[in-house]
Structure 1
Amino acid sequence: MFLLKEVSYKDILTIKNLHIPKQKITCIVGESGSGKTTLLRLLNRLTSYDSGEIFYQNQLIKDIDPVELRRNVVMLPQTPAIFSGTIKDNLLIGLKFSEKTMPTDQQLGDMLKLVHLKKDLDQDAEKLSGGEKQRVALGRVILMQPEVLLLDEPSSALDEETEHTIIEALVNYSKENKKTLIMVTHSTKLASEFADEIIKIKEGQFLRKEEVSK
């Protein structure tokens, strides 16, 4: 899916060789400030690398139109934007920007169930808690049905029990729909439980990639 060769970005991240497989669950772990988020941003050109090469689907990523790339490789930041309006408005906004087919209210309700958010579609999104906003944003990204989900600490605002439930649901969705999920997580426990592969980064250096035996 992705191949990185001799990639460097400022003094923040250096990767000599890394392959991230298609339709797998890949977790990126490491200390705060180690370059995990930078790696995610490089994969859909939100950040441009200084040297080296990154390939997506065997195509040099710099040769792909960035708008088209970000429709297929969608990133959810750790603190996602919540826009004024209802939960429904927030769920639909990504689809409107990407000019995709609008789902029914039933489908939107099913998405709220997927992210375990017991709220009505017409409720004010700005009045939700931090964890609830995070789940609305996660639902918004999933509705876009990208080939690749790039998630930066998607459960950081959740308690441990809810975090496990949401990550499990997200992993199941990705596997059932043959999606590629690449996720930064602070939890080595979650990474070990759910990932097919774990990428370890320390002080801007890619240390190693480990396959997780199930």
Structure 2
Amino acid sequence: MSRRSDHTREELAELIVAEGHSLLSEVGFAKFSAREVAKRIGYSVGTLYNVFGNYDGLILAINGRTLDLWRAALVAKLDGASEATPMARLEQAVAVYFDFAASHRHAWASLYDFRLPSDVALPAFYADKLAAVIDILINEVTAALPAKRKAEGPELARSVFALVHGHCFFALNGTFDLLGETDPLGAAIARTREVIAGIPGMAAPA
């Protein structure tokens, strides 16, 4: 087992996040246990909370790792589509969301399952990680819009995110199977095209 003197604080933080992310990916948020993470790395639960402040801080650090992985997947896909049209790039971003959610299902779900108390603000480090992902979507949505509608980019990006997430969630939980939808990704891309095209009723109200 590891001893307290074996790791610097930075090394210990990385060890905890890596093992915590692995456990979360295995069992999901509902069954996640800080005590199990501590057991796996040979430290006490108190050590985990000493590093991250409390349970919420631990989960935010683990979810932050998921955001980093999601952003890396987006960047890798979009860097490989540098010659594609703006709409094709946006469609690639939508496909990344589906692929990432399917391959990191529990970790992806934890981004939405975990909530801080309403009176607690997101830590700056986590807000920055979230913005790093959302800003990519805003940039791709804005690029796909005609020049006269560029200013709508941030608002429409939120709408696109909501509709893609809804389609992805229904695909993963089996709802679309019940509804007879056989191509959830294709449907999400089609709805995204409609938002970009400005079809009435497709953009969510402000």
TM-score, normalized by the shorter chain, greater than 0.5: no
Bigger fraction of residues in helix: 2
TM tier relative to shorter chain: under 0.3
TM-score for the superposition, normalised by structure 1: 0.26
| Larger relative contact order (Cα-Cα within 8 Å, sequence gap ≥ 6) | 1
TM-score for the superposition, normalised by structure 2: 0.27
